[in-house]
Amino acid sequence: MPLVTPLSSEHDKETQELSEFFNETLGFCPNSVLTMQRRPAISKAFINLNKAVMTNEGTVTSSLKRMIAWVSSNATGCRYCQAHAIRAAERYGADQEQLDNIWEYKTHPAFSDAERVALDFSLAASQIPNKVDVEIKKRLYQYWNEGEIVEMLGVISLFGYLNRWNDSMGTSIENGAVDSGNQYLGKYGWEKGKHV
């Protein structure tokens, strides 16, 4: 049971209009946003930040951004965000082999060296204490420019917020996210846990 019950999607008209963004991303408005709208300034600020972070201005693709989000959420243990991130990666055209082998990104041939370092960066930046070091920096600069690194860290930071929000809130997980979690992550032990 969630700490705070999500409100109806019609509760705040501005949040409802902004949250149409998630229909493309996930196919539904997430319950996390429906909970945030108890303070509409938070839900609106969050949606606008999400849109800004997920805008592609370099060569970091929408699907890679969602895989970065998955690695970050996996590192922190947020099952709600793991399922949402893998669902969004699928919806944004991630390669089927990558989706099926996301846990093996470090060695699986479906991932390029540029993708591996982006995902390693996500893992290092999501750990406490933070593990971003000179080696990660050198590897990042082999494939990515500073604007692209900022985009990646924007995703990691956004999901840091979401991981804490949803794990602390025990946000109820939506059926579509459960389906994606089971399909791509279930073979590795993913389950919805407290997000019922």
Establish if 4 belongs to a structural domain. no
Query: What is the rounded distance in angstroms from the CA atom of residue 160 to the CA atom of residue 67?
Result: 14
What confidence tens digit (pLDDT) does each residue in 94-137 have? 999 999 999 999 999 999 999 999 999 999 999 999 999 999 99
Establish if 156 belongs to a structural domain. yes
Establish if 2 belongs to a structural domain. no
Interval 160-179 mean pLDDT: 97
Domain around 98? 13-188
4: number of Cβ within 10 Å: 12
The count of domains in the chain is 1
Establish if 1 belongs to a structural domain. no
CATH value at residue 103: 1.20.1290.10
Cβ(10)–Cβ(29) below 8 Å: no
What confidence tens digit (pLDDT) does each residue in 14-73 have? 999 999 989 989 999 999 999 999 999 999 999 999 999 999 999 999 999 999 999 999
